[in-house]
Chains A and B, each alone.
Chain A
Amino acid sequence: MNNLQKQQLIIRENLDEEHYFQSIIDTAHGLGLLSDSELENIQMQGIKLLARQTERYTGGDSSSVRVETAQCILQSVLYSIGVYLKSLPETDMGLEQIKQTPLAELFQRGRKLIEKKVNISKHILHLIQSDHISNDNIAYNDTIENGLPGFFSTYDADYAAHETAGSIDYPLNIDKMKLVGIEYIYDYLQTLYWENKFCKKFSVHDIDCVLRGYDEQYQDLLVNIFRIVFTNALGCILSNRSIVHLNVGQTGRQYIKKQLKDLPADELHEVLSKASIKLCREIDITNAFFMEYISLTLEDLCERLKTAMDNDHLETVFVSHREKVCKPVIHFMDGDKMDDEAFRRLATEIGECRFVSDKISIIMKEIHSISDLVDILEGDCLFGNEFSEFFDALGDNELAMLSNLLPKNKVDSNLAESGKEWYVKLDEYLEGLDLNRKNSISNIADKIELC
């Protein structure tokens, strides 16, 4: 028997997530489902509700508030009503409720739902904190340890329920940025929980290798871990490999390319969809929320995969495994830092020298620590060509140590814009060296560590 669904006059997908209540009112009024007098009545109720909430906010101490405060309180009230209306199965039912139930009552119902969502969210956060993925990604760890708890300590469900405080840097694979307030956090935590649950099916070492394959410096990146792990796991399924180590490999990628290259978009989606169902069964996660999330993930993956196959860069989608390389370390024993007074005297003396050779000999004799050396380089003691003459006097270890202090990515952070002349001069000097010496300095720089 066919399931008959009632045709909704107000289409849910067209409504604004953040201003849900207002968008129902606007749409209904536009469609003629809400008369002018009904709209006026709702507005009057809204003003009364705002007045009551404002009085509660000021504790009856003040009859007036700043316009920004009133706007915030009003938005909070309307947001709370919106939360309740969203909980109803149909949009038309929401409109009926708006017409028949006093706004104050709808607000109270929304307020209770918000309270409930706050409590559930706190519980999910607790679950996440006690069982998250062990890895070194800074954004991931910081969001779980500080950012998300920060939200709950500042969240004001009474007068600013629509605000999303807290520093949530870690990006989800699919982040519903249209949501605000507790709705956003609730969705964020629920998604993060399931992303974690998926990733926890694999070993910490394998996840680390896959992330390292994505980028050696993945610790510092704002990158979603689940997205990379899931894609590789799916790659294993597509290439008929075991998912245990998340390793697709070159042969796996070639196999996938051979199988999927000529498929049209809809068939490719179908193949991915089947593979994802197989994957979820293998790892034994068949939760409806997660399955829905996976199907949304596939939409994006399908396009990425198609582009990568067209450009013959499948390794950008199914990344290679890369083990952590334990490099031999050179320990650089730094000398004592000078006291401020002695340093000032020395800097003045160097500045007054007429010949660069005198400057160099004073620096070599008196400066014993890298931080003092950097202060000299930044302290208007050397000018123009004097830098290269000074760098000539330094050994490979010192140059390697200094080169490590240069900004890592020269394209993103232009050396000239850093305002430090020695950055530019050292970079030019290193570029001008013969290849052997340059490589030798670069090798030392990779290994050297300041003690």
Chain B
Amino acid sequence: MYSNFMLITTNIQNKLAVSDIIKCNEYTARFGLVLSQNEAQALVETRTEALNRNGRIEFGGGIIDKLIKEFCDSPFLNQSNYAETLHDLIETFYYFKNESLDGISDDELISLMKKYFDQNCRGSIELLQNRELEALARNIRYNVRDYEEIDDKDEYLDEEDEGEDE
């Protein structure tokens, strides 16, 4: 009966988020990464969809600009895969906020995503989602103290190193 009180004016929020993303170009340009107005708009739409899909609600500017600033110096990003990777990262972020039962802060999750993306996953979003972050979320859910220490990390690295040696 009274639920319509909660009409969240997403339009205003989205406009603010787009301008925040465009502002990030000043910082990311030095890494050769720039987003157009349309691309920024599309990222905000992805965020809205990801929030809806994961049953979450967000106030303020959100996490897109934080993701951009964290990931822009990744050796695995270039102008051609930049926007696409950001779409995937946004979806991944909200999915794992839920999977970890909100047991990890935004900043820490973004920082661990970057670490795994650059090191263990060598720029693979699939490995990031299906291997590293799954293990991280599981560790958090089971209250493992050093949850960021993922057990099978060394094993994977060894396998990959052996492959390279051959």
Contact = CB atoms under 8 A, between A and B. Distances in A.
Interface string B38-75: 00000000000001000111111111000000000000
A64 interface: yes
A63 interface: yes
B2 A66 contact: no
Interface stretch (A49-57, A87-95, A357-365, A443-451): A49-57
B104 to A, nearest CB: 8
B57 A70 contact: yes
27 contacts: A16-B1, A16-B2, A19-B1, A19-B2, A22-B5, A23-B2, A26-B2, A43-B5, A43-B7, A44-B9, A46-B5, A47-B8, A47-B9, A50-B59, A55-B59, A55-B60, A61-B106, A61-B107, A62-B106, A63-B58, A63-B61, A64-B59, A65-B56, A66-B98, A67-B55, A71-B6, A78-B5
Contacts of A68: 55
A222 B102 CA distance: 41
A61 B57 CA distance: 14
B117 interface: no
A214 B80 CA distance: 83
Interface residues of B, number: 24
Nearest to B59: A51
Contacts of A46: 5-6
B102 A66 contact: yes
Interface in A62-110: 62-68, 70-71, 74, 78
Secondary structure at chain A's binding surface: helix, strand, loop or mixed? Answer: helix
B105 to A, nearest CB: 4
A66 B2 CA distance: 20
Interface in B98-120: 98, 102, 105-107
A58 B102 CA distance: 9
Contact of A64 (B1, B2, B62): B62
A71 B6 CA distance: 9
Contacts of A26: 1-2
A293 to B, nearest CB: 30
Nearest to A62: B106
Interface of B: 1-2, 5-9, 51, 55-63, 94, 97-98, 102, 105-107
A61 B7 CA distance: 25
A260 interface: no
Interface in A28-57: 43-44, 46-47, 50-51, 54-55
A33 B102 CA distance: 42
Contact of A61 (B9, B56, B105): B105
B63 A63 contact: yes
A51 B9 CA distance: 12
Given A50-B59, A64-B58, A66-B102, 5 more contacts: A25-B5, A44-B9, A63-B58, A66-B56, A67-B56
Contacts of A51: 59-60
A43 B57 CA distance: 16
Interface of A: 16, 19, 22-23, 25-26, 43-44, 46-47, 50-51, 54-55, 58, 61-68, 70-71, 74, 78
Contacts of B2: 16, 19, 22-23, 26
B9 A65 contact: no
Specify which of B5, B94, B97 lies most central, judged by the most chain A CB atoms within 10 Å of its CB. B5
Contacts of B56: 64-67
Q: Name which of B8, B55, B58, B59 has the most chain A CB atoms within 10 A of its CB.
A: B59
A55 B59 CA distance: 9
Contacts of A62: 97, 102, 105-106
Given A22-B2, A43-B5, A63 B62 contact: yes
Contact of B51 (A44, A64, A78): A64
Given A47-B8, A62-B102, A54 B59 contact: yes
Contacts of B7: 43
B11 to A, nearest CB: 12
Contacts of B62: 63-64
A78 B105 CA distance: 27
B14 to A, nearest CB: 14
B63 to A, nearest CB: 6
B57 A65 contact: yes
B10 to A, nearest CB: 10
Contacts of B59: 47, 50-51, 54-55, 63-64
Contacts of A43: 5, 7
Contacts of B9: 44, 47
A26 B51 CA distance: 29
Given A50-B59, A54-B59, A64 B97 contact: yes
Nearest to B8: A47
A390 B12 CA distance: 81
A70 B82 CA distance: 32
A43 B8 CA distance: 9
Nearest to A46: B5
Contacts of B6: 46, 71, 74
Contacts of A54: 59
